[in-house]
Amino acid sequence: MRRMITLTDVHEQIEQIDQKIIDLLEERARLCKGIEIDPDDEAEMVALWEEEGDVRGLDEVRMGRIGKLVAGLCRGPGM
């Protein structure tokens, strides 16, 4: 008999994915440390997020916002 997926299972999977995202953002921030990203490069990064979002069926506007936040990690304190 197949086991039913519970809400708890879904929450655990989402938490694992969130931890992976945080790990990747930390790695990205480390790579950016000491590097000045010019506005054109940042615009390209944001465009990538929008385009990939569109291709993958995700909301392009929201993906653009996320891209801006991610790009901002290179401008944050200590970067």
pLDDT tens digits along 2-44: 778 787 889 999 999 999 999 999 999 999 888 888 899 999 9
Sequence length of the chain is 79
User: For residue 36, what pLDDT is reported?
Assistant: 85
CB atoms within 10 A of CB 47: 12
Token pair of 25 as six digits: 């953002």
User: For residue 77, what pLDDT is reported?
Assistant: 62
CB atoms within 10 A of CB 71: 21
d(CA 61, CA 50): 7
- Confirm if 71 and 46 have CB atoms less than 8 A apart: yes
Q: Does the pLDDT at position 76 exceed 90? A: no
User: For residue 1, what pLDDT is reported?
Assistant: 67
User: For residue 24, what pLDDT is reported?
Assistant: 97
